[in-house]
Structure 1
Amino acid sequence: MRPRSGPTVQHRVLAARLRILREQAGVSLRAAADALGAHPATVRRIERAETGLDARQVTELLRCYGAPPRIAEPILAGLGAANLPGWWHRWRDTMESWQQDVIGVESSASLVRTWHPALVPELLRTPAYAAGLYRMRYPDDGPDRIGRRVELLRERQRRLYERGTALWALFPAAALLTRVGDPETMAGQRRALAGAMEQQHVTVQVVPLDHPPHAMTAMPPLHLLRVPAPEIGDQAVLETPGVRVDLIDDPEAVMAHRIRLDAACAAAPPPETPLPDLAAG
């Protein structure tokens, strides 16, 4: 069964190592499943970190793959930590399933690059700005539930800051004219952005209103996550609000998104450019 709080990066790394060991040993999914007395889909779910890592199953798979002790022992020793719920587990009642997967990767990322076509990117939002958007998106939520959503976002931001994760955000100046909440909320958000731009690990680029179309024009929100673990490649998160959110790990697809975002960042004003002086409408 898939972990309720989404897999941690430690879980993903061990799952990827099992897949790599199977492929290096030339063992098919069917043969690995036969060693477990299970269906091939069970092995596939283990390798995709879609189910908990059972010590008996992992031990049998390592034996099937002929993994020597120097490789098998660290994997078995890491099972306990890999199966622990992520720190975000306490907020799972306010999270959608895709958020659990994304935060599981984001929590170990060394670099987060983000684009939003119309709003201030999530990881740069103030509590008041975020609450205003949550009230619109979740109209049935009461103040307490909205407060928990804001609390989760603040914890994500705090952990990224404490780890020194590099954050690179690109968004259009129109986001500063799209009023979320009251004027003070927008003024506070603007002050927070100006402060973020002074932080060493944060890069902010704002595309002017009169800027020509660029590679990300009309693209939905996009996030690129880089985890410093060789077993896990870069991940892309593509949001289609109200429809679906895709966590993409296919290297070619991720590269295509990275190329588009690179081109848009290259075309935008440099990061040291001050926020545009816009009068609220």
Structure 2
Amino acid sequence: MAKRIEPTARQLRLAVELRRLRDAAGLTSREAAVLLGVNAPQISQIESGLAGVSEKRLRILAANYSCSDGELIEALVAMTKDRARGWWEEYRELLPAPFLDLAELEHHATFLREAQFLYIPGLLQTADYARAVYAYRTPELPQTELELRVQHRLRRKAALDGTPFDAIIHEAALRIMVGDRAASRAQLNEVLDVSEAENVTVRVIPFAEEGFAGAASAMLYAGGTLSKLDTVVRDGPNGAAYIDSDRQLAALRTLLRKLEAASLNPGKSRDLINRVAKEL
């Protein structure tokens, strides 16, 4: 097994699921190693994403872990076979790894849901809007890297090609002029244009909504092939956090339901976006 230097978030997720299966079976890493005919450090490398695992070995482990969830096993097997190098690999060593991880997550998602309160969701951003976001960053980015980030953000839109995407945006994000007035107006028109796609739904939480206390609830929820394999990405002071525990996912699904309940329906949301755009 070749050792990886920097496993991707998807590779780490497979590793986490294997560790969870072993823990549920009550086996030590040494006992799991015996099942595969390897040593304990190799199991540790598999369960930390530093080494891959073949379909054959994964099925051996699942059988000995007494895992009866056939759908989960097949989903994990699919992850071992998926070695396609997507478009995001063109940016490896050019942009930080989290940019690539996010694009890979969106690419494999069965559905996407995003809630934003101060910014337009990345998948809906125009080049000028994204450029204004990155230009405000401190320390300032070299122009070359800034443009690479803008380009990468625009290429992420490929995830919207048929994948269901529900966006919940607070009215504040519509009114904050991240770029100049013309760029802000163009950004709102872009949101309106994209929302016409059958697989895209945009809802707006208006300032007039009473009792709303969820402004710190920004997140990207990516659906897996099974709900057990869903992932939530939330920004934190130390960078993006990937959340995948059953308990936390259940809590965040509840939070998304609350946000949706506080938002206008898609039709009224479009009316509000149109009104704000005309006011700019």
TM-score strictly above 0.5: yes
For 2:115, the equivalent position in structure 1 comes to: 115
CA RMSD of aligned residues (A): 3.5
Checking the alignment, whether the CA contact within 8 Å between 2:232 and 2:244 is kept in structure 1 is: yes
1:47 corresponds to 2:47 = yes
Checking the alignment, whether the CA contact within 8 Å between 1:207 and 1:269 is kept in structure 2 is: yes
Unaligned runs of 5+ in 2: none
Superimposed CA distance per residue, residues 62-95 of structure 1 (whole angstroms, 9 cap, x where no aligned partner)? 389669xxx9xx99x9798545544312213344
Shift of 1:192: 0.2
Distance 1:3 1:101, change over 3 A: farther
Q: Summarize the alignment of residues 62-101 of structure 1 with structure 2, pairs less than 5 Å apart.
A: 62=60, 81-83=81-83, 85-101=85-101
For 1:182, the equivalent position in structure 2 comes to: 180
Distance 1:24 1:4, change over 3 A: closer
Distance 1:78 1:249, change over 3 A: closer
Counterpart residue identity of residue 222, structure 1: M
- The count of aligned residue pairs is 264
For 1:249, the equivalent position in structure 2 comes to: 244
Task: Find the aligned partners of 1:206 and 1:85 in 2 and give their Cα distance.
Answer: 36
Q: Tell me, what secondary structure is at the counterpart of 2:241?
A: strand
Checking the alignment, whether the CA contact within 8 Å between 1:118 and 1:174 is kept in structure 2 is: yes
Task: Find the aligned partners of 2:100 and 2:5 in 1 and give their Cα distance.
Answer: 10
1:227 corresponds to 2:224 = yes
* Equivalent of residue 202 in structure 1, options 200, 203, 226: 200
Task: Find the aligned partners of 2:221 and 2:146 in 1 and give their Cα distance.
Answer: 26
Task: Find the aligned partners of 1:247 and 1:95 in 2 and give their Cα distance.
Answer: 19
Superimposed CA distance per residue, residues 25-82 of structure 1 (whole angstroms, 9 cap, x where no aligned partner)? 764322123542233xx4244235x223166x97599389669xxx9xx99x979854
For 2:150, the equivalent position in structure 1 comes to: 150
For 1:161, the equivalent position in structure 2 comes to: 160
- State the TM-score, normalized to the length of structure 2: 0.78
For 1:238, the equivalent position in structure 2 comes to: 234
- State the TM-score, normalized to the length of structure 1: 0.78
For 1:173, the equivalent position in structure 2 comes to: 171
Q: Which has the higher contact order (CA 8 A, sep 6+)?
A: 1
- Equivalent pairs: percent with the same residue? 24
Checking the alignment, whether the CA contact within 8 Å between 1:8 and 1:85 is kept in structure 2 is: no
Task: Find the aligned partners of 1:79 and 1:111 in 2 and give their Cα distance.
Answer: 17
Distance 1:260 1:239, change over 3 A: same
Checking the alignment, whether the CA contact within 8 Å between 1:7 and 1:86 is kept in structure 2 is: no
Task: Find the aligned partners of 2:212 and 2:62 in 1 and give their Cα distance.
Answer: 51
Checking the alignment, whether the CA contact within 8 Å between 1:22 and 1:28 is kept in structure 2 is: yes
Unaligned runs of 5+ in 1: none
Checking the alignment, whether the CA contact within 8 Å between 2:231 and 2:243 is kept in structure 1 is: yes
Counterpart residue identity of residue 202, structure 1: V
Task: Find the aligned partners of 2:206 and 2:261 in 1 and give their Cα distance.
Answer: 14
Distance 1:216 1:21, change over 3 A: closer
Superimposed CA distance per residue, residues 221-247 of structure 1 (whole angstroms, 9 cap, x where no aligned partner)? 2111102247x521111112x433210
Q: Tell me, what secondary structure is at the counterpart of 1:110?
A: coil
Task: Find the aligned partners of 1:224 and 1:20 in 2 and give their Cα distance.
Answer: 21
